[in-house]
Amino acid sequence: AQSVAQPEDQVNVAEGNPLTVKCTYSVSGNPYLFWYVQYPNRGLQFLLKYITGDNLVKGSYGFEAEFNKSQTSFHLKKPSALVSDSALYFCAVRGRGYQLIWGAGTKLIIKP
Amino acid sequence: GAVVSQHPSRVICKSGTSVKIECRSLDFQATTMFWYRQFPKQSLMLMATSNEGSKATYEQGVEKDKFLINHASLTLSTLTVTSAHPEDSSFYICSATLGSTDTQYFGPGTRLTVL
C-alpha cells in the first residue's frame, strides 16, 4: 500500500540555522512527491514537487527537497530558517488518479 | 496563477440546517477538484473527488447524501452539508488540479461551526 510518513510531530530550529523536515514514502513504481505548507487557519500552499529529473528540487520561499530513491525519502530543507517559516508542513505522494496520500504533518517552530 | 477561492471563509449555523460551500478556480479550468476535511492538529482527510459534469467519487465512510457535491463547471464545485450537526463542525478545504498536471492548488478553507 502507498503511504507517507513524517516521523517528527514537531521540529524546533533557531532562526538562521538550517532546517530539515523529514519525509519517507512507500509506493509502487516511480513516486510523484509534494511538499505543502499550511499557516494557521489557512489552506495549503504548494512548495515544490518531484516528478522526475534532478534529485534536488528547488521550490518557493527558499525551500528545497532532496529525493533519495534508495532511502525512499524526500526531506524538505532550507539553508537558513526564518521565523516566518513557522507553520505546518505536509509531505504527500500521488496515489490513484490525481489523489494525494498525505503525511500526518510536521509543525515547524523557528525561534528568534 | 493557479488561484483557488472558497466562500464563505467562516460559517456558523444551527443544527439541522444546510450549508453550501463554494470552491472556485479563478484563473484556470479545473478538471478535477477535491474536498478535504481537516480536524484540529491533524492531516487532511479526503472526502471526495469531483470531476466536472460527472458524479463525485466519495471516499469510504463519507456519506454522499449528507455531503452533496456538485461540479457544474470547470471553475466551480460546491459542497453542501445537509442537516448539519455539531459533529460536522470542521475545517473544509477544497483543491483543484490543472489539467494533466499533478499539483493540487488549495483554497483557503472554510471553518464550519454547527451550534
B55 pLDDT tier (thresholds 50, 70, 90): confident
| Beta strands A100-102; A44-50: pairing state | unpaired
Interface residue B109 vs chain A (CB under 8 A): yes
Contact criterion met (CB below 8 Å) for B77 and B33: yes
| Beta strands B90-98; B104-106: pairing state | antiparallel
Contact (CB<8Å) B4/A102: no
How far apart, in Å, are the Cα atoms of A21 and each of A33, A76, A103? 14, 5, 12
Q: What is the pLDDT of residue B99?
A: 66
Measured distance CA(B67)–CA(B24) in Å, rounded: 18
Mean pLDDT on B19-34: 92
Contact criterion met (CB below 8 Å) for B85 and B78: no
Select from A44, A104, A105 the Cβ nearest to the Cβ of B106.
Answer: A44
**Cell numbers 509531505: residue:** A91
Contact criterion met (CB below 8 Å) for B60 and B42: no
Select from A43, A100, A103 the Cβ nearest to the Cβ of B93.
Answer: A43
B31/B92: higher pLDDT: B92
Instruction: Give B-chain residues touching A90 at CB under 8 angstroms.
Output: 43-44
Contact criterion met (CB below 8 Å) for A88 and A108: yes
Interface residue A102 vs chain B (CB under 8 A): yes
Mutation target vs A (from B58, B103, B113; most A CBs, 10 A cutoff): B103
Report which secondary-structure segment, H or E, holds B97: strand B90-98
Mean pLDDT on B106-111: 94
Report which secondary-structure segment, H or E, holds B74: none
- For chain A, 112 residues long, the average pLDDT of each consecutive 10-residue run is 92 98 92 92 88 92 95 97 96 84 94 95
Q: What is the pLDDT of residue B42?
A: 80
Q: What is the pLDDT of residue B39?
A: 85
Interface residue A30 vs chain B (CB under 8 A): no
Q: In this model, does residue B101 exceed pLDDT 90?
A: no
Of all residues in chain A, the one with the smallest CA distance to B3 is A45
Q: How many CB atoms lie within 10 A of CB A104?
A: 15
Instruction: Give B-chain residues touching A36 at CB under 8 angstroms.
Output: 106
Measured distance CA(A46)–CA(A36) in Å, rounded: 5
Ramachandran region, residue A57 (left: φ > 0; alpha: ψ -120 to 50; beta: rest): beta
Interface residue B49 vs chain A (CB under 8 A): yes
A16/B31: higher pLDDT: A16
CA of B9 vs chain A CAs: smallest distance (Å):
9
